[in-house]
Structure 1
Protein backbone atom coordinates (compact mmCIF):
# COMPACT_ATOMS: atom_id res chain seq x y z
CA UNK A 1 0.00 0.00 0.00
CA UNK A 2 1.20 3.48 -0.81
CA UNK A 3 1.53 6.16 1.81
CA UNK A 4 -1.45 8.39 2.41
CA UNK A 5 -2.07 11.90 3.68
CA UNK A 6 -5.84 11.55 4.10
CA UNK A 7 -8.29 8.86 5.14
CA UNK A 8 -11.91 8.41 4.16
CA UNK A 9 -14.36 9.63 6.84
CA UNK A 10 -15.99 6.18 7.03
CA UNK A 11 -12.62 4.56 7.75
CA UNK A 12 -11.84 7.14 10.43
CA UNK A 13 -15.25 6.61 12.05
CA UNK A 14 -14.80 2.83 12.01
CA UNK A 15 -11.36 3.06 13.61
CA UNK A 16 -12.57 5.46 16.28
CA UNK A 17 -15.53 3.18 16.97
CA UNK A 18 -13.23 0.17 17.41
CA UNK A 19 -11.01 2.14 19.81
CA UNK A 20 -14.05 3.30 21.80
CA UNK A 21 -15.35 -0.27 21.95
CA UNK A 22 -11.99 -1.53 23.27
CA UNK A 23 -11.89 1.19 25.94
CA UNK A 24 -15.47 0.40 27.00
CA UNK A 25 -14.63 -3.30 27.18
CA UNK A 26 -11.70 -2.62 29.49
CA UNK A 27 -13.87 -0.49 31.75
CA UNK A 28 -16.56 -3.19 31.91
CA UNK A 29 -14.09 -5.95 32.76
CA UNK A 30 -12.36 -3.84 35.42
CA UNK A 31 -15.67 -2.87 37.00
CA UNK A 32 -16.95 -6.45 36.94
CA UNK A 33 -13.77 -7.60 38.70
CA UNK A 34 -14.13 -4.89 41.34
CA UNK A 35 -17.80 -5.76 41.87
CA UNK A 36 -17.02 -9.42 42.49
CA UNK A 37 -17.69 -9.87 46.20
CA UNK A 38 -15.11 -12.56 46.93
CA UNK A 39 -12.09 -10.80 45.48
CA UNK A 40 -9.09 -9.76 47.56
CA UNK A 41 -9.24 -6.03 46.76
CA UNK A 42 -5.54 -5.28 47.32
CA UNK A 43 -4.37 -8.07 45.01
CA UNK A 44 -7.10 -7.23 42.54
CA UNK A 45 -6.14 -3.55 42.26
CA UNK A 46 -2.50 -4.47 41.61
CA UNK A 47 -3.52 -6.94 38.93
CA UNK A 48 -5.88 -4.43 37.32
CA UNK A 49 -3.17 -1.78 37.31
CA UNK A 50 -0.75 -4.13 35.54
CA UNK A 51 -3.45 -5.15 33.10
CA UNK A 52 -4.30 -1.50 32.44
CA UNK A 53 -0.71 -0.66 31.49
CA UNK A 54 -0.35 -3.66 29.21
CA UNK A 55 -3.76 -3.16 27.66
CA UNK A 56 -3.38 0.52 26.84
CA UNK A 57 0.23 0.19 25.73
CA UNK A 58 -1.05 -2.41 23.28
CA UNK A 59 -3.88 -0.09 22.26
CA UNK A 60 -1.26 2.48 21.18
CA UNK A 61 0.22 -0.18 18.89
CA UNK A 62 -3.26 -0.94 17.55
CA UNK A 63 -4.00 2.75 16.98
CA UNK A 64 -0.73 3.19 15.10
CA UNK A 65 -1.50 0.05 13.10
CA UNK A 66 -4.79 1.46 11.81
CA UNK A 67 -2.88 4.35 10.24
CA UNK A 68 0.53 2.79 9.61
CA UNK A 69 0.58 3.98 6.00
CA UNK A 70 0.28 7.66 6.81
CA UNK A 71 3.12 9.74 5.48
CA UNK A 72 5.40 10.92 8.25
CA UNK A 73 5.82 14.18 6.33
CA UNK A 74 2.14 14.90 6.98
CA UNK A 75 2.61 14.66 10.75
CA UNK A 76 4.08 18.10 11.08
CA UNK A 77 6.07 19.15 14.11
CA UNK A 78 7.66 16.67 16.47
CA UNK A 79 5.45 16.64 19.51
CA UNK A 80 2.03 16.47 17.94
CA UNK A 81 -0.14 13.45 18.71
CA UNK A 82 0.38 11.75 15.33
CA UNK A 83 4.12 11.81 15.83
CA UNK A 84 3.80 10.94 19.52
CA UNK A 85 1.76 7.80 18.81
CA UNK A 86 4.27 6.73 16.13
CA UNK A 87 7.16 7.13 18.59
CA UNK A 88 5.32 5.39 21.42
CA UNK A 89 4.28 2.44 19.27
CA UNK A 90 7.75 2.01 17.84
CA UNK A 91 9.27 2.31 21.32
CA UNK A 92 6.91 -0.34 22.66
CA UNK A 93 7.71 -2.74 19.82
CA UNK A 94 11.42 -2.07 19.35
CA UNK A 95 12.68 -0.67 22.64
CA UNK A 96 11.10 -2.77 25.36
CA UNK A 97 8.53 -0.20 26.40
CA UNK A 98 10.93 2.68 27.00
CA UNK A 99 10.63 5.89 24.98
CA UNK A 100 13.30 5.82 22.29
CA UNK A 101 16.02 8.41 21.97
CA UNK A 102 16.58 8.43 18.24
CA UNK A 103 17.20 11.44 15.97
CA UNK A 104 14.41 10.69 13.48
CA UNK A 105 11.93 9.92 16.28
CA UNK A 106 12.45 12.78 18.69
CA UNK A 107 9.74 14.00 20.99
CA UNK A 108 9.53 17.41 22.60
CA UNK A 109 7.95 16.51 25.96
CA UNK A 110 6.87 20.11 26.49
CA UNK A 111 4.66 19.88 23.38
CA UNK A 112 3.39 16.30 23.56
CA UNK A 113 0.12 15.12 25.04
CA UNK A 114 1.71 12.85 27.64
CA UNK A 115 4.97 14.71 28.30
CA UNK A 116 7.13 11.57 28.14
CA UNK A 117 10.87 11.91 27.59
CA UNK A 118 13.43 9.62 26.01
CA UNK A 119 14.23 6.91 28.56
CA UNK A 120 10.85 7.10 30.32
CA UNK A 121 8.96 3.83 30.72
CA UNK A 122 5.68 3.66 28.81
CA UNK A 123 2.93 2.61 31.22
CA UNK A 124 -0.26 4.13 29.90
CA UNK A 125 -3.41 4.38 31.94
CA UNK A 126 -6.89 4.51 30.49
CA UNK A 127 -6.95 8.27 31.05
CA UNK A 128 -3.61 8.81 29.30
CA UNK A 129 -4.62 6.63 26.37
CA UNK A 130 -7.89 8.55 26.00
CA UNK A 131 -6.02 11.86 25.95
CA UNK A 132 -3.49 10.79 23.32
CA UNK A 133 -5.99 8.88 21.17
CA UNK A 134 -8.48 11.77 21.19
CA UNK A 135 -5.72 14.18 20.13
CA UNK A 136 -4.56 11.66 17.51
CA UNK A 137 -8.03 11.38 15.97
CA UNK A 138 -8.46 15.17 15.94
CA UNK A 139 -5.19 15.54 14.07
CA UNK A 140 -5.77 12.69 11.62
CA UNK A 141 -9.11 14.30 10.76
CA UNK A 142 -7.30 17.57 10.10
CA UNK A 143 -8.56 19.38 13.17
CA UNK A 144 -6.09 21.19 15.40
CA UNK A 145 -5.13 19.42 18.56
CA UNK A 146 -4.22 21.63 21.48
CA UNK A 147 -1.04 21.02 23.42
CA UNK A 148 -1.10 19.21 26.74
Structure 2
Protein backbone atom coordinates (compact mmCIF):
# COMPACT_ATOMS: atom_id res chain seq x y z
CA UNK A 1 0.00 0.00 0.00
CA UNK A 2 1.10 3.52 -0.72
CA UNK A 3 1.64 5.96 2.09
CA UNK A 4 -1.53 7.65 3.29
CA UNK A 5 -1.77 11.41 3.52
CA UNK A 6 -5.43 11.37 4.52
CA UNK A 7 -8.06 9.01 5.91
CA UNK A 8 -11.81 9.27 5.53
CA UNK A 9 -13.60 10.24 8.73
CA UNK A 10 -15.76 7.09 8.47
CA UNK A 11 -12.60 4.96 8.66
CA UNK A 12 -11.30 6.90 11.67
CA UNK A 13 -14.69 6.56 13.39
CA UNK A 14 -14.76 2.81 12.69
CA UNK A 15 -11.29 2.41 14.20
CA UNK A 16 -12.37 4.40 17.26
CA UNK A 17 -15.44 2.18 17.61
CA UNK A 18 -13.32 -1.01 17.45
CA UNK A 19 -10.99 0.40 20.08
CA UNK A 20 -13.89 1.26 22.38
CA UNK A 21 -15.31 -2.25 21.93
CA UNK A 22 -11.97 -3.87 22.74
CA UNK A 23 -11.56 -1.73 25.87
CA UNK A 24 -15.10 -2.64 26.95
CA UNK A 25 -14.41 -6.37 26.48
CA UNK A 26 -11.34 -6.17 28.71
CA UNK A 27 -13.26 -4.28 31.36
CA UNK A 28 -16.12 -6.82 31.27
CA UNK A 29 -13.77 -9.81 31.58
CA UNK A 30 -11.83 -8.23 34.44
CA UNK A 31 -15.02 -7.30 36.27
CA UNK A 32 -16.50 -10.77 35.78
CA UNK A 33 -13.35 -12.34 37.21
CA UNK A 34 -13.46 -10.05 40.24
CA UNK A 35 -17.18 -10.71 40.79
CA UNK A 36 -16.76 -14.49 40.81
CA UNK A 37 -17.00 -14.82 44.58
CA UNK A 38 -16.97 -18.58 45.14
CA UNK A 39 -13.55 -19.36 43.66
CA UNK A 40 -10.09 -19.05 45.18
CA UNK A 41 -9.05 -15.65 43.84
CA UNK A 42 -5.85 -15.17 45.84
CA UNK A 43 -3.74 -14.61 42.71
CA UNK A 44 -6.44 -12.90 40.70
CA UNK A 45 -5.30 -9.27 40.96
CA UNK A 46 -1.72 -10.11 39.95
CA UNK A 47 -2.97 -12.16 37.02
CA UNK A 48 -5.33 -9.39 35.92
CA UNK A 49 -2.53 -6.84 36.15
CA UNK A 50 -0.29 -8.99 33.93
CA UNK A 51 -3.16 -9.54 31.51
CA UNK A 52 -3.87 -5.80 31.46
CA UNK A 53 -0.28 -4.94 30.49
CA UNK A 54 -0.12 -7.59 27.77
CA UNK A 55 -3.56 -6.76 26.42
CA UNK A 56 -3.06 -3.01 26.18
CA UNK A 57 0.51 -3.24 24.91
CA UNK A 58 -0.86 -5.40 22.11
CA UNK A 59 -3.78 -3.02 21.60
CA UNK A 60 -1.24 -0.24 21.08
CA UNK A 61 0.29 -2.29 18.26
CA UNK A 62 -3.20 -2.77 16.81
CA UNK A 63 -3.91 0.97 17.05
CA UNK A 64 -0.73 1.79 15.18
CA UNK A 65 -1.57 -0.91 12.63
CA UNK A 66 -4.84 0.80 11.71
CA UNK A 67 -2.81 3.77 10.49
CA UNK A 68 0.57 2.17 9.80
CA UNK A 69 0.79 3.62 6.29
CA UNK A 70 0.49 7.23 7.46
CA UNK A 71 3.05 9.48 5.82
CA UNK A 72 5.77 10.63 8.18
CA UNK A 73 5.88 14.02 6.50
CA UNK A 74 2.27 14.63 7.48
CA UNK A 75 2.75 13.02 10.91
CA UNK A 76 5.60 15.35 11.72
CA UNK A 77 8.50 14.80 14.10
CA UNK A 78 7.56 17.21 16.87
CA UNK A 79 6.86 14.70 19.63
CA UNK A 80 3.09 14.51 19.05
CA UNK A 81 0.93 11.52 20.05
CA UNK A 82 1.49 9.87 16.65
CA UNK A 83 5.24 10.00 17.26
CA UNK A 84 4.81 8.67 20.77
CA UNK A 85 2.80 5.66 19.57
CA UNK A 86 5.35 5.03 16.81
CA UNK A 87 8.21 5.00 19.37
CA UNK A 88 6.32 2.85 21.87
CA UNK A 89 5.24 0.30 19.27
CA UNK A 90 8.77 0.05 17.91
CA UNK A 91 10.01 -0.37 21.49
CA UNK A 92 7.53 -3.19 22.06
CA UNK A 93 8.38 -4.94 18.81
CA UNK A 94 12.13 -4.38 18.62
CA UNK A 95 13.40 -3.62 22.12
CA UNK A 96 11.73 -6.12 24.42
CA UNK A 97 9.17 -3.61 25.67
CA UNK A 98 11.69 -1.04 26.92
CA UNK A 99 11.30 2.51 25.60
CA UNK A 100 14.02 3.24 23.10
CA UNK A 101 15.20 6.56 21.76
CA UNK A 102 14.43 7.62 18.22
CA UNK A 103 16.84 10.36 17.16
CA UNK A 104 14.57 11.34 14.23
CA UNK A 105 11.67 12.31 16.54
CA UNK A 106 11.71 15.13 19.07
CA UNK A 107 9.85 13.18 21.77
CA UNK A 108 10.17 14.96 25.11
CA UNK A 109 8.81 12.72 27.90
CA UNK A 110 7.82 15.75 29.98
CA UNK A 111 5.46 16.87 27.19
CA UNK A 112 4.33 13.43 26.01
CA UNK A 113 0.99 11.81 26.80
CA UNK A 114 2.36 8.96 28.94
CA UNK A 115 5.60 10.63 30.09
CA UNK A 116 7.65 7.45 29.64
CA UNK A 117 11.41 7.97 29.69
CA UNK A 118 13.92 6.09 27.51
CA UNK A 119 14.72 2.86 29.33
CA UNK A 120 11.33 2.60 31.06
CA UNK A 121 9.24 -0.53 30.58
CA UNK A 122 6.14 -0.23 28.41
CA UNK A 123 3.41 -1.71 30.62
CA UNK A 124 0.20 0.04 29.65
CA UNK A 125 -2.80 0.08 31.92
CA UNK A 126 -6.35 0.54 30.71
CA UNK A 127 -6.26 4.20 31.73
CA UNK A 128 -2.94 4.83 29.98
CA UNK A 129 -4.19 3.12 26.84
CA UNK A 130 -7.32 5.26 26.84
CA UNK A 131 -5.23 8.43 27.16
CA UNK A 132 -2.78 7.54 24.41
CA UNK A 133 -5.40 6.15 22.01
CA UNK A 134 -7.62 9.23 22.47
CA UNK A 135 -4.67 11.57 21.87
CA UNK A 136 -3.54 9.50 18.89
CA UNK A 137 -6.95 9.56 17.24
CA UNK A 138 -7.35 13.30 17.84
CA UNK A 139 -3.99 13.83 16.14
CA UNK A 140 -5.00 11.55 13.25
CA UNK A 141 -8.16 13.62 12.80
CA UNK A 142 -6.21 16.86 13.01
CA UNK A 143 -3.52 15.92 10.51
CA UNK A 144 -5.03 13.20 8.30
CA UNK A 145 -8.83 13.55 8.25
CA UNK A 146 -10.58 13.91 4.94
CA UNK A 147 -14.17 15.05 4.79
CA UNK A 148 -16.63 12.81 2.97
CA UNK A 149 -17.57 13.91 -0.54
**Any conservation in 2 of the 1:78–1:84 contact (CA below 8 Å)?**
no
Structure 1, unaligned runs of 5 or more: 144-148
Q: What aligned pairs does 1:112-127 form with structure 2 within 5 A after superposition?
A: 112-127=112-127
Aligned: 1:2 with 2:6 = no
Runs of 5+ unmatched residues, structure 2:
144-149
Which structure would you say has the larger RCO, counting Cα contacts within 8 Å and 6 or more residues apart? 2
Give the superposition deviation at 1:5: 1.9
What TM-score comes out, normalization by structure 1 length? 0.91
Task: With the length of structure 2 as denominator, give the TM-score of the two structures.
Answer: 0.91
User: Does structure 2 retain, via aligned residues, the 8 Å contact 1:107–1:117?
Assistant: no
Q: CA RMSD in A?
A: 1.4
Number of residue pairs aligned between Structure 1 and Structure 2: 143
**Segment of structure 1 superposing worse, 70-79 or 46-55:** 70-79
Deviation larger for 94-103 or 128-137: 94-103
Structure 1 residue 105, shift from structure 2 partner: 4.6
1:110 Cα deviation from its structure 2 partner: 1.2
- Partner Cα distance (1:39, 1:129) in 2: 30
Local SS of the residue matching 2:110: coil
Counterparts in 2 of 1:8 and 1:47: CA distance versus 1, 3 Å: same
Cα shift at 1:41: 3.7
> 2:91 matched to which residue of 1?
91
